[in-house]
Structure 1
Amino acid sequence: MTTKAQQRKANLREKLVEAAETRIDRDGAGALRARDLAKDAGCAVGAIYTAYDDLNALIMAVNGRTFQKLGLVVASSVDGKESETPTKRLILMSNAYLTFASDNTNLWRALFDLQMRAEDNVPDWYLQALRSLFSHIAHPVAELFPDYSHEELDLMVRALFSSVHGIVLLGLEQRISGVPLTKVELMIAQILSQIG
């Protein structure tokens, strides 16, 4: 049974995540400040640190929600498209990824800007959100490479994700090595068509 104190803490955590999500979406994760969040959530600055260990933990909570939203967008891009080739489904998912990143740039960037290494103590729920996103990519990849071991498939999924992510990042940032945003979908299709 949940006590009133536990319920208050859960409510505060939810308010803080919503406030942080709004601020990250508008200003980026680097602009997140405890004083602003406390004001937005209607709590004292110290209360933030009773709900979360630090601002990174709060950003991770926002990122968990963003991964879930991104996963839904990617999955829905191929709903009802089971008859399409695996390559076509990868392209559809990649275009959905691009659209999500373009429409939610600051939240999307926060997924990758958080200063964490693979060996850091990453919560299981966070890793599960990332695995869920990769699982959508894994289905068509397994169809394309039926003889691959689990480890080889995992590596290919990560390679394809990294490739698409890099193209999207460079396109959104308008880096000199990127292509104009209007050409990013074409570039993704050109790359993915080579593997199918």
Structure 2
Amino acid sequence: MGRRSDHTPGELRELLLATGHQLMGEVGYPRFSGREVAKRAGYSVGTIYNVFGSLDALLAAINTRTFTQWAAWLRQELETGGEDRIASLVRGYFGFALARPLLWSAIYEHKVPEGEGLSDADLEGRAALTGIVEQEVAAVLPPDTALDVARFARSLIASVHGHCSYVVSGSFALLDETDPVGSALERVRESLAHHGAKSAPML
């Protein structure tokens, strides 16, 4: 039985979001169930639709929360990682994915239905992560670079992501790659150096 009177709308949204995020971290996207989220929260599954409008909107909000945590992880890595901030970014990318593989994978496994798009809050929450990378990449490139820094940063993210996804899936072990983090960092350094980036202390 639902407990509609137990929480304000804001509290109920947070309860469902926190419960869904915890469940995603436990079981991953393929086994995720809105019904289980509602059950754990003590409400009927219809409450998810009343609060979020759709299960996809809840899933998007869960993934946005993961993005927010990931951005915080990168900031911490940058704060404590020493002078080589590019290396700190790459380590932070891998570190978060390996610490929370099911949450990380869900970001890419959930596809927003065509024509729906993400809410402004979701877009803003996700932009924080790419913003951190863009800022650090811009800091090592020449001030007069002709590059579209935002686009270039996204390309670097894609390169690191490819390496990281192989690690999370276990595929790199089949390729006999013993240092995927180092390999990803080498590719990033090569791209940055090609565009005149100033050097940083090596790992």
Task: Kindly provide the amino acid, as one letter, of the partner of residue 153 in structure 1.
Answer: V
Q: Please give the secondary structure, in 2, of the residue aligned with 1:78.
A: helix
Select 1:167's aligned residue among 138, 163, 182.
Answer: 163
2:8 paired with 1:11: no
2:58 paired with 1:62: no
Q: Percent identical across equivalent pairs?
A: 24
CA distance 1:131–1:170, shift in 2 (3 Å): same
2:128 paired with 1:132: yes
CA distance 1:34–1:152, shift in 2 (3 Å): same
- CA deviations over 1:23-49 (Å, ceiling 9, x no partner): 110111222222211210001121221
Residue of structure 1 in register with 2:109 after alignment: 113
Q: Distance in 2 between matches of 1:167 and 1:124?
A: 30
Task: Kindly provide the amino acid, as one letter, of the partner of residue 124 in structure 1.
Answer: D
Q: Distance in 2 between matches of 1:51 and 1:155?
A: 35
Q: Distance in 2 between matches of 1:118 and 1:77?
A: 35
- CA deviations over 1:33-68 (Å, ceiling 9, x no partner): 222112100011212211111111111111121111
CA distance 1:180–1:69, shift in 2 (3 Å): farther
- CA deviations over 1:1-20 (Å, ceiling 9, x no partner): xxx97x62222211111111
Output aligned runs, 1:23-42, within 5 Å. Answer: 23-42=23-42
TM-score (norm 1): 0.84
Q: By how many angstroms is 1:22 displaced?
A: 1.4
- Do the aligned partners of 2:56 and 2:112 also contact (CA within 8 Å) in 1? no
Q: Distance in 1 between matches of 2:179 and 2:50?
A: 47
Q: Distance in 2 between matches of 1:53 and 1:161?
A: 32
- Do the aligned partners of 2:94 and 2:164 also contact (CA within 8 Å) in 1? yes
| Alignment gaps of 5+ in structure 2 | 194-203
| Alignment gaps of 5+ in structure 1 | none
Task: Kindly provide the amino acid, as one letter, of the partner of residue 116 in structure 1.
Answer: V
CA distance 1:124–1:181, shift in 2 (3 Å): farther
CA distance 1:57–1:97, shift in 2 (3 Å): same
Count how many residue pairs are aligned between Structure 1 and Structure 2. Answer: 188
- CA deviations over 1:137-165 (Å, ceiling 9, x no partner): 1123213332235x710111100011111
2:119 paired with 1:123: yes
- Do the aligned partners of 1:171 and 1:180 also contact (CA within 8 Å) in 2? no
Select 1:89's aligned residue among 74, 85, 106.
Answer: 85
- CA deviations over 1:70-120 (Å, ceiling 9, x no partner): 0011112112668x2xxx311211111101100101111111222138975
Q: Please give the secondary structure, in 2, of the residue aligned with 1:79.
A: helix
Q: CA RMSD in A?
A: 2.7
Residue of structure 1 in register with 2:201 after alignment: none
Task: Kindly provide the amino acid, as one letter, of the partner of residue 90 in structure 1.
Answer: I
Q: Distance in 2 between matches of 1:118 and 1:163?
A: 26
- Do the aligned partners of 1:73 and 1:100 also contact (CA within 8 Å) in 2? yes
Residue of structure 2 in register with 1:101 after alignment: 97
Q: Distance in 2 between matches of 1:176 and 1:73?
A: 24
Q: Please give the secondary structure, in 1, of the residue aligned with 2:24.
A: helix
Residue of structure 2 in register with 1:52 after alignment: 52
CA distance 1:118–1:129, shift in 2 (3 Å): farther
